[in-house]
Structure 1
C-alpha cells in the first residue's frame, strides 16, 4: 500500500475528511496498536503543516507512556492530570491550547512548541491513551483541527477491535 504524504491545503475540513479516509485505509485489517500508532503518527505529521510533533502516549494503568511518534525525542512518562496530555487523559476531553506557556503545569518536552492539541483515546469507557500534536506556531490548532483529529483518533480506537 502506498500513500502520497502531501501536506493538506485548501479547504481544511475537506482535507481532514481525506486524511481520515487515508487513516482508515492505512489501518484496515491491522489490530496491533503499535503498528497502527506508528503509521498514523507518520501520516498526520507529514500531512499537517506547522506541526513539530505528532504521536501517541499510552495509558499503562498508572500513567501515560510515550508510544510511536514523529518529531524530537519526547517526555517518556506523564502523570494523569499533569500537563496538556495528562489533563486530556484525566478529563477524557480534547485539550486545545493556543499558548502552552499559559497552560498551568505545561510540560515542555520541546522548547520550540507553542501550541498543542491532545485528543483522548477511549474505548468502551476505558482510557487507552492520547493522540498529541505540538506546533511551534501560537494558536496553530482550532475547532477544525479538533474535529479532524478526533475523527483520526476514532479511526485508531476502532482499529483495535477486530471486525
Structure 2
C-alpha cells in the first residue's frame, strides 16, 4: 500500500528508487492521465527538499501547455526551443541547470527559482508527450544523480501513468 508518510532514504539513488516504487503504486491502477500527473506532481513536490515547483508541460502538437503541478502559478504556454522546458522538449535531452539566470532564454515564471531540471517525456513510439519540470529556489540544487533519478521517475510515469485521456 502506498503511503507518503513512509520514511524516505537519505542517499539519492535509494531515495529515487523508493519514489519510483511509490509513484508506480500511486498511478498504476488509474486510467486518467490528468489524475496520474496531479498525484505524481504532489508525490515528488512533497517528498524532495528544496523545491518550489514540480509539474508537467504537455505537448499539444504545436507547443508545451502547462499540466498538473505543485507550486505557484506557472507560464501557460512554452514554444519548443524556448527556455529550459522548450529546449528539453526540442532536443529530447535532460536539462540540468545550476543557475537559471545563466541559461540563455530562461523563462522566469517564478522569480524565486534559481535552478531547474527538465526531463523530456517521450512515448514508446517516439512521440513527444511533453516535459517534467522541477524548480528550486537554491542554486545548483540538481546534479547528475537527480537527473538519473528523475529520468527513472519519468519512465515510470510514461509507462504506468500516461494514458490517452490526457489528450482531451
Q: Does 1:133 align with 2:142?
A: no
How far apart, CA to CA, are the structure 1 residues paired with 2:6 and 2:134? Answer: 18
Q: What is the CA RMSD across the aligned residues, in angstroms? A: 1.6
- Which residue does 2:35 correspond to in 1? 35
Query: SS where residue 55 of structure 1 aligns?
Result: strand
* 8 Å Cα contact 1:59-1:129 kept in structure 2: yes
- What's the CA shift for 1:31? 2.9
Deviation at 1:161, TM superposition (A): 5.5
Shift of the 14–97 alpha-carbon distance from structure 1 to 2, 3 Å rule, reads same
Structure 1 stretch displaced more, 133-142 or 6-15: 6-15
* Preserved contact between residue 33 and residue 163 of structure 2 (Cα < 8 Å): no
SS state at 2:45 partner? helix
Aligned to 1:156: 157
Task: Give the distance between the partners of 2:7 and 2:63, measured in 1 at CA.
Answer: 33
Distance 1:19 1:93 in 2: 22
**Which residue matches 1:47?**
47
Seen in structure 2, the aligned counterparts of structure 1 residues 50 and 28 have a Cα distance that, compared at 3 Å, is same
Q: Deviations over 1:45-98 (max 9, x none)?
A: 000000000000000000000000000000000000000000000000000000
The residue aligned with 2:68 is 68
Q: State the Cα distance separating 1:112 from its structure 2 match.
A: 0.2
Whether the aligned pair in 1 keeps the contact of 2:41 and 2:55 (CA below 8 Å) is yes
- When normalised by structure 1's length, the TM-score is 0.95
What is the CA distance between 1:16 and its match in structure 2? Answer: 0.6
Verify the 8 A CA contact 1:100 1:113 in the aligned structure 2. Answer: yes
Unaligned runs of 5+ in 1: none
Relative to structure 1, the CA distance from residue 5 to residue 63 in structure 2 (aligned partners, 3 Å threshold; closer, same or farther) is farther
- Residue number in structure 2 paired with 1:101: 101
Return the offset for 1:9. 5.0
Stretches of 4+ aligned residues off by more than 6 angstroms: none
Name the structure 1 match of 2:16.
16
Calculate the TM-score normalised by the size of structure 2: 0.92
